[in-house]
Amino acid sequence: MYRVALRVTGVDLDNDATLGALFEVLDDLTWMEIDGRTLAVLHTDGDPVASAVLAARQITAGLPGAKVEEVDQDLVGISDIAKRIGVTREAVRLWVDGRRGPGGFPPPVGSAGGGERGSVRFWRWASVSDWLRKYNLHDEEDALSAVQVAEVNAALLRVMTPMDFAWQEVSKGPLRIAQLKSSAANIASPGCGHTVLTFHYSAATAWHERLAAALASGDEHERDDDPAFR
């Protein structure tokens, strides 16, 4: 079974309305806050990419303003790695330095600190898990591989929010604005012609204001019945 932790923004887990929505429509996800990050964790036996995309759609539909950013990077240091796989810190340090084991330990993605005690290096757990699994040093079945993490993140970029769908609807075909009058005049010049369009700006902005109000209210009938949107 795969474990996929999705980083979500725009969600307040201390809000009663949000907690009610989580209980009613998103109860198959585990929610937590870690070091200022809000995570929605799903477990699946199926395709992790498809499951993550489905969860992201459910989150954005059930929690207005929420956005699923990416699979949580799950950064780990030497002590974290040692604790997760049940070995000593020194063993991990020797793997990292290439003085023991098969070599080729993944490079760190960053570091912090410095000074006399040196810096603390960090790795993405997915990359470390791939290396451990490759050499039969540890096999965590529910960990996504680095490739799967990249696939999920790429798929999440294509997940559309309700506002995306609304603008997609507006953008279909030519932009139709009732009461937006234009006049055109051909200006003759040797060998070519030009068209000058004069738009009534107030009519255009009024239409956009009415469209924004209709989208915000979610009233499909208002848009269908109003000739300005036909």
Cα–Cα distance between 29 and 91 in angstroms, integer? 35
Query: Which of 166, 99, 85 lies closest to 131, judged by CA?
Result: 85
Confidence of residue 134 (pLDDT cuts 50, 70, 90): very high
Pairing of strands 110-113, 67-71: unpaired
The 3-state secondary structure of the chain, one letter per residue: CEEEEEEEECCCCCCHHHHHHHHHHCCCCEEEEECCEEEEEEEECCCHHHHHHHHHHHHHHHCCCCEEEEECCCEECHHHHHHHHCCCHHHHHHHHHCCCCCCCCCCCCEEEECHHHCEEEEEEHHHHHHHHHHCCCCCCCCCCCHHHHHHHHHHHCCCCCHHHHHHHHHHCCCCCCCCCCEEEEEEEECCEEEEEEEECHHHHHHHHHHHHHHHHHCCHHHHHHCHHHC
Read off the amino acid at residue 144: L
Range of the domain at 208: 165-229
Q: Are residues 221 and 180 in the same domain?
A: yes
Poorest-confidence range of 14-23, 90-99, 152-161, 184-193?
Answer: 184-193
Looking at residue 108, its pLDDT comes to 95
- Sort residue 152 into left (φ over 0), alpha (ψ -120 to 50) or beta: alpha
pLDDT at 172 over 60: no
Q: What is the pLDDT averaged over residues 82-106?
A: 96
Output the pLDDT for position 142: 76
In a domain, 65, yes or no: yes
Residue 79 has pLDDT above 80, yes or no: yes
* Structural domain contains residue 83: yes
CB-based contacts of 207, cutoff 8 Å, min separation 6: 177, 178, 179, 180, 228
Q: Answer yes or no: do 80 and 68 share one domain.
A: no
**Owner of token pair 């995309």:** 53
Residue 61's Cβ-side half-sphere holds a number of Cα atoms within 13 Å equal to: 12
Do the domain assignments include residue 51?
Answer: yes
Select, from the ranges 76-80, 142-146, 174-178, 194-198, the one with the highest average predicted confidence (pLDDT): 76-80
For range 137-163, the mean pLDDT? 82
Residues 91 and 114 placed together within one structural domain of the fold = yes
Domain count, the chain: 3
Say whether both 101 and 50 belong to one domain: no
Residue 63 has pLDDT above 60, yes or no: yes
Nearest to 69 by CA among 61, 78, 60, 80: 60
Residue 149 maps to a domain = no
Considering the domain architecture, whether residues 114 and 103 belong to the same structural domain is answered as yes
Above pLDDT 70, what percent of the chain?
Answer: 66
Higher pLDDT, residue 172 or 109: 109
pLDDT digits (tens, 9 = 90+) for 187-221: 444 455 544 444 444 554 555 566 666 666 665 55
CATH number at residue 48: 3.30.70
Among 95, 112, 134, the domain boundary falls at: 134
Q: Which has more confidence, 173 or 34?
A: 34
Q: Is residue 158 part of a domain?
A: no
Q: What is the mean pLDDT of the chain?
A: 79
The answer to whether residues 178 and 224 belong to one domain is yes
On whether residue 120 sits in a domain, the answer given is yes
